[in-house]
Amino acid sequence: MNLNIKNEKLNRWIKEVSELCQPDSIYICNGSKEEYNQMIELLIKNGGAIPLKKRPNSYLFRSDPSDVARVEDRTFISTSSKEEAGPTNNWLGPAELKKTMLGLYKGCMKGRTMYVIPFSMGPIGSPISKIGIEISDSPYVVVNMHIMTRVSSRVLELLGENGEFIPCLHSIGAPLAHGQKDAQWPCAPIDKKYISHFPEENLIWSYGSGYGGNALLGKKCLALRIASVMARREGWLAEHMLILRLTNPEGRQYHIAAAFPSACGKTNLAMMMPSIPGWKCECIGDDIAWMKIGADGRLYSINPENGFFGVAPGTSYSTNPMAMDTLKGNVIFTNCALTDDGDVWWEGMDGDEPVHAIDWKGRDWTPESVHEAAHPNARFTAPASQCPVICKDWEKPEGVPIDIIIFGGRRSEVVPLVYEAYNWDHGVFLGATAASETTAANIGAVGFLRYDPFAMKPFCGYNMGDYFQHWLDMGGKLGNKAPRIFYVNWFRKNSDGKFLWPGFSDNSRVLKWMCQRIDGKAGAQETPIGLVPDKEGIDLNGLDIPPDNMRELMMVNTDEWKAEIPNIEKHFSIFGSRLPERLKLQLKEFIRRLG
């Protein structure tokens, strides 16, 4: 089998996978526009892709109802010891897991083409980037990887004869017998789905699902779960963070990385249009940040992705106009509704509801229907380069210098609008205790408090106690060049259950205060939880907000915070002896300040 690949390790791996999975043919992807169109044609022919008349070069897919989201309980971190995976991950031993999966992989690509997808996470050739090779039997995966990563034959050239790559094996787990008609969305039953990570080998195996987070292995699997382990090993950070550039009226630039759990407005903030005159926001990334210490000792970040894989429902011109403008063409939509005039629609979109549509399951839908038209996790895959506010430096190989790191969560009470950490260790404490109230989008009781440290709970590829220690160690290396750390809560409510803060574009007012703090131009009051803006701190010009609302937004009630202590202690207790001493000290200091 001569595939014209110089890298011997890669040739051997392709041969092994081919012998195991037994595809009808092998195709090496080159990332060209012709290849993308060829895959789309194939998907239209198979009935998987529906062309959209209203949006040029855009297509709608409907997944199997059993395959609509990341499958947390079928996602495994497989390390030689369970302790290494830690209490926040599902663990199976490598020998047991590989035996099971090799049995599933045997002959799983019969009747299909095996696609070899060479991709770069981050600009090709950047010192912060990593190379992956995904093998998949899904053309849907190929077209999404084209958008979400940098698929290119240049990646193979860069690999050369002995370059390192991360092997990512994926199969939908649906072999075809000779003459058998393919399903519109082929996948395996839920109990046969496995999303497996072997961090000690930098290896990813995924089986049975065609859905993005489970099948586009460059995304959460490589860019967070495997990369977080590599980052610890190599002394950098792989984080579930947006990156934005904020420029003040004088032209001074600030770069901000922010981590929020789901349903807390990460994409909205990444593409925000500031409501304060003269300030400009540009998007560098909306989901993942890889950060390394540069030659000058500062922390530099790239967005390793090439596109946006966003949740469609709730996205509108009122919530995120820049995202809506990004979606005008060249987009893959999954599980949205199809209107009669050949466009997509979802709940929360601007304008009137359609009189009739075809829902995400292919059924007739009208406003009287009891079921939703689009699945709540319906998605768009769109090139980042199409975003009207994409930063001109978003592909800078060396990255951008991070000035500010933000953590946050959705809390209806207790937590003020914004506060600043006293120092790096205190900031790590804020990240480690980040919590959010569950919403209807989460499984479980609404309003239940869920700790999601650094918004990384589902994505950290090793023991989170060690992850906290790695953050503390990075602070030691950065010293006085470390970014300043803040915590935000856009979601505080009054006694009537109404939001106290308008959010969206007005969040720029909070970011302005952070920038002025860095420049020594804004004051703050010391409180037991951190530094809160003083009375004149937040620029409220042009904003009609009652003084009582602002007072309540900034309130730090020590009794309410004392009531949080048992929750934090319980949360920290799961890490046992792996919880860093410096975080135990931070908790003691916090309790002492509360008095």
Q: Which residue has the tokens 């920038």?
A: 515
Q: From CA 257, how far away is CA 453, in angstroms rounded?
A: 15
CA-nearest of 171, 214, 200 to 95 is 200
Across the beta sheet with 59-61, the strand order is 50-51, 59-61, 332-334, 379-383, 307-311
10 Å CB burial of residue 252 (0-12, 13-18, 19+) is exposed
Q: In DSSP terms, which residues pair with 509 in a beta bridge? A: none
Q: Look up residue 288 and give its DSSP letter.
A: -
Q: Which amino acid is at 425?
A: D
Catalytic residue among 221, 264, 281, 283: 264
In this structure, the dihedral spanned by the alpha carbons of residues 456, 581, 463 and 301, taken in order and rounded to 10 degrees, is 40
Q: Look up residue 499 and give its DSSP letter.
A: B
* Whether the Cβ atoms of residue 295 and residue 284 lie closer than 8 Å to each other: no
**Two structure tokens written together for 226:** 């495997």
How many other CB atoms sit within 10 Å of the CB of residue 366? 12
Q: From CA 467, how far away is CA 456, in angstroms rounded?
A: 10
How many other CB atoms sit within 10 Å of the CB of residue 496? 5
Helix (H), strand (E) at residue 234: helix 227-234
Active site annotation includes 21: no
10 Å CB burial of residue 100 (0-12, 13-18, 19+) is middle
Residues in the chain: 595
Residue 441: phi, psi to the nearest 5?
Answer: -75, -20
Q: From CA 416, how far away is CA 492, in angstroms rounded?
A: 7
Residues involved in catalysis = 264
